[in-house]
Structure 1
Amino acid sequence: MGIPILAGPGTIATAMNFAAQSTIGEISRVLIAFAAMCCLTFIAFIGGQWLALYLGQNAIKVISRLMGLILAVIGVQMLIEGIRGAIAG
């Protein structure tokens, strides 16, 4: 589930839109920010095993269920907005 959020269509569209309307300095800042996010993501993925051992199975189950609930809420909100847009349009 994490990969589409990290480098999904929204991220790519935002980068392309910003790069099309920016100067070299702004583009370099965006590239540095992307590189920093890649490094932070790498550190989070590497530290995940240690974090799983630290938290334990019960805490991981609770966090997984909370993340599932958050994902369901986002999906329902997107569905509602889509229906509103279809009715209004």
Structure 2
Amino acid sequence: MVRDINSTSIIVRPVSGGQDMVIRVYPYEHLSVIRQQVQLRIGPTMESSKLMCNGEELSDDLTLNDYSLDNYQILMIEIFKKN
């Protein structure tokens, strides 16, 4: 497997506790890609989620570059499960 030097690993930590997830993403991709990758790992019990950094909700339409985030930043994710 060849590692793409343009991508970066971001740590995503669930607000409610649980395992940190390491997500590989390109800095220019929309943040919705991170939420989609979390959805794949959590499975069908997850209804929606909210990605945050330093208490601020991050927009799906923006990128890591837009927020000046790098792989040293831990993002928080609030996961809403189906009833």
TM-score over 0.5 for the pair: no
Higher helix proportion, which one?
A: 1
Give the alignment's TM-score, normalised by structure 2. Answer: 0.24
Higher strand proportion, which one?
A: 2
